[in-house]
Structure 1
Amino acid sequence: MTYRNLLAPMAAAAREVGELLLAAPRPTPVPSFDELAAVYGALEAPAVAVMRRHLDVLRPGVGWADEWEDRAALPAEGEVWIVDVIDGAVQFLQDLPQFCVSLALVRDGEPVAAALHAPLLGETYLAALGGGATRNGLPIGPSAKTDPAVAVVATTHPPFVTRRPEAAARAGRSLAAVLPRVAAVRNLGPTSWQIADTAAGRLDAFWEFGRDDANLLPGALVAREAGALVTDAAGRPWGAGADSFLVAPAGLHRQLVEVLAAQCGPVTGDR
């Protein structure tokens, strides 16, 4: 089965999980992290079961990478699934609409097929290596803007950023550097979906500091296949294990690299 042929069944799996999430009782705010984890676990378990049923048939014997692990969780050779059945769980648990179902097949450390589905929007991004990228079946492409002053860009930070002080510091410095140069900066929920929206021209660029492979790989494939530039903050080709990420159209990429690279020095101890 070609990577492109994987997309329809991957989309079907993501949509079935999305229907399950929409049918679940809306969560109410809880006062402690332990209670939050319990609520999330009760929601996640049936969604994971649905996804495993689909993916085990689609690619027998292919395992799953832990969502929160870094590159060490990705095998150097062979295939692995990266799955987040509630991508944007923070928003979902706060009864906010910005969440999606995210999955990608990674081979030899590189994403080769990806599906992102936002149940409330009824939208699905799909991409396969060498096969282009679509939203709801229509080809997508990045913004044509060339002036950062009219650009709407987005950023976020990796999960559990309090454990990564250098990533938090770089996020703050980069935000201060970018804000005066663009029309607006936003954080619109799931990392993967914001990257895909950049690939489709809804956002004009997206950046992040800190290692965040599981959240970046699915969107990175969508962006590359749509024709956006996917690099680190210094403009080097991005790959799993990198400590920064930037996706932008060709008309804005160089200018954003100049801002980010000048403001954010080398990483120390971001693990």
Structure 2
Amino acid sequence: MDELLKQLDDIDDLCLTSLKQDLSLEFPNTFWHIGDEFDTNSQRRPAEQNEYWLCDAMDGAIQYLQHIAGWTINLVLIRKGKPIVSVIYDPLAEEMFWAIDGEGAYMNGQLLKISQKTDFSVMVAVFEYGHQDKSDNQLNEKIGSTVTKLLHNFGIVRNYGPHGLQLAYVGAGRIDLFIQEDIDTYNWIAGLLIAKESGAELMTTHGEPWNWGSESLLVASKKTTEKYLEIKSAI
């Protein structure tokens, strides 16, 4: 484990050094915050700074280390506790997803729009999970129950890896529903703005609007989230 964590730190340092050098030219006074996805408590609220970059230099780093596709560089500009600019770059696919609050979301210049499917049997649903301790809070059981619900109701169920990219794929109409039962703000935040600006609903799995610090996430079109929550309630 120590060796794995050292490899992850080396990847982050390499990417962050490059990003900071380039962005400091246009944003010389903007603070940098490195989100630690292993630190659950820090994800419950925004940082104290009025404006800062929140960076995940390697979302899907395990795939990178295993020589598997599906890793990205995620960057978000947070202002007054709200994401206002988001970028997710997939180097292998040469795709850059980005969004500006209130101005839409794009991929390589193409305007993004969520899926318009209405039939669960032809939808792609993805589930995710975070890195916090799940040994004494029944999170593993809750995640397992959620996956079972997906398998019973959706035609295709997957776990692709990088959280932010999967949320960007919701915005692009490539994935129809994203769900996660535990808190994972730092992994979500870049993709959330892209999904929202593409027309997706951001909810908790209890049917409440998602807010920073929410401990679950459900992202899909309004009709799809409503239908899923009806099914969950009936169960």
Asked whether the equivalents of residues 115 and 127 of structure 1 are also in contact (C-alpha less than 8 Å), the reply is: yes
Q: Deviation at 1:207?
A: 0.6
Code of the aligned partner of 1:67: D
Partner of 2:114: 142
Partner of 2:131: 159
Tell me: CA distance 1:258–1:54, structure 2 relative to 1, closer, same or farther (3 Å).
farther
Tell me: CA distance 1:261–1:47, structure 2 relative to 1, closer, same or farther (3 Å).
farther
Q: Deviation at 1:129?
A: 0.4
The DSSP-based 3-state class of the residue aligned with 2:19 is: helix
* Aligned residues with identical type, % of pairs: 28
Determine which of 79, 83, 94 is the counterpart of 1:122: 94
Asked whether 1:222 is paired with 2:194, we answer yes
Partner of 1:198: 170
Asked whether the equivalents of residues 125 and 150 of structure 2 are also in contact (C-alpha less than 8 Å), the reply is: no
Asked whether the equivalents of residues 123 and 135 of structure 1 are also in contact (C-alpha less than 8 Å), the reply is: yes
Asked whether the equivalents of residues 130 and 183 of structure 2 are also in contact (C-alpha less than 8 Å), the reply is: yes
Partner of 1:17: none
Determine which of 169, 186, 211 is the counterpart of 1:239: 211
Tell me: CA distance 1:103–1:153, structure 2 relative to 1, closer, same or farther (3 Å).
same
Code of the aligned partner of 1:88: G
Determine which of 89, 93, 100 is the counterpart of 2:61: 89
Determine which of 248, 255, 263 is the counterpart of 2:227: 255
* Higher normalized helix content (fraction of residues): 1
Describe how 1:9-20 pairs up with structure 2 within 5 A. none
How much is the aligned-residue C-alpha RMSD, in angstroms?
A: 1.9
The DSSP-based 3-state class of the residue aligned with 1:176 is: helix
Q: Residues of 2 paired with 1:160 and 1:92: CA distance?
A: 21
Describe how 1:60-99 pairs up with structure 2 within 5 A. 60-68=29-37, 69=39, 70-72=42-44, 74-75=46-47, 78-99=50-71
Asked whether the equivalents of residues 65 and 73 of structure 1 are also in contact (C-alpha less than 8 Å), the reply is: no
Code of the aligned partner of 2:21: R
Partner of 2:8: 40
Of stretches 59-68 and 185-194 in structure 1, the one that deviates more from structure 2 is 59-68
Partner of 1:208: 180
The DSSP-based 3-state class of the residue aligned with 1:127 is: strand
Any stretches of 5+ residues in structure 2 without a counterpart?
none
> What is the TM-score when the length of structure 1 is the normalising length?
0.79
> What is the TM-score when the length of structure 2 is the normalising length?
0.91
Q: Residues of 2 paired with 1:194 and 1:113: CA distance?
A: 18
Determine which of 19, 22, 25 is the counterpart of 1:51: 19
Asked whether the equivalents of residues 148 and 183 of structure 1 are also in contact (C-alpha less than 8 Å), the reply is: yes
Tell me: CA distance 1:255–1:221, structure 2 relative to 1, closer, same or farther (3 Å).
same
Asked whether the equivalents of residues 66 and 73 of structure 1 are also in contact (C-alpha less than 8 Å), the reply is: no
Q: Deviation at 1:112?
A: 0.8
Partner of 1:107: 79
Tell me: CA distance 1:236–1:73, structure 2 relative to 1, closer, same or farther (3 Å).
closer
Residues 230-270 of structure 1, C-alpha deviations (whole Å, 9 max, x = no match): 1111222111100110110123121112234566xxxxxxx
Asked whether the equivalents of residues 45 and 212 of structure 2 are also in contact (C-alpha less than 8 Å), the reply is: no
Q: Deviation at 1:107?
A: 1.8
